[in-house]
Amino acid sequence: MFELAGKPDADNRYPSAVMVHAQSPSNGAKLRQCGGVIVAQRLVVTAGHCVCRRHQATTPEGRREHRIDATTCAETATVRVSFYEQDPRAPEQIRGFTYAERQGRIRPHPELQIRLNEQNQLLSSHADLATLLLDEPVPVGFRAAVLAKSPVVPGETLKRVGFGYDDTSGALDGRRLV
């Protein structure tokens, strides 16, 4: 069992938070599941490490490490947008859901560079971003995220929306949490 931080987005306040499933370019198998955010009707932003595979590299000093960069990315991904149905007897609970999936082409940030040591501990991370250009717009009702027009100020309340990750199973829980 695991406990997730946050409450389910049962009232669909954040439908722009979506699931992203990248397919491996070599065999078509799904890489990993990650969260993403709809920023326009056909554009989703996600983390570069979610859509690009790690590979072995050797440093100039002869140490082995793992790297994630724009050379090892999947070409396509599936984006799942979900709309939840509230339980009228328990408004914070999800009774059911509907979803739609859209395919998209992955465009990693050209400067994506993540370095991990042999124990998979982070050494450095730069430009860990990728976009997905969807073949079709997201369905009506799945509006784009409203992006901030000013910087965050000290003491300001922030909300984090995403999907709960279960370390035991190594997968996302699948519910959008706030």
Q: What is the pLDDT of residues 53-95, one digit of tens each?
A: 889 988 888 889 999 999 989 999 999 998 888 877 877 777 7
Amino acid identity at 147 = L
Question: Distance between CA 111 and CA 95 in Å, rounded?
Answer: 43
Those residues whose C-beta lies under 8 Å from the C-beta of residue 60, and which sit 6 or more positions away, are none
Q: What is the pLDDT of residues 128-177, one digit of tens each?
A: 999 999 999 988 877 788 888 899 899 988 888 887 665 555 666 677 88
Q: H or E element: which one contains 62?
A: none
Domains along the chain with CATH numbers: 17-152 (2.40.10.10)
Q: How many CB atoms lie within 10 A of CB 16?
A: 19
Model confidence, pTM? 0.84
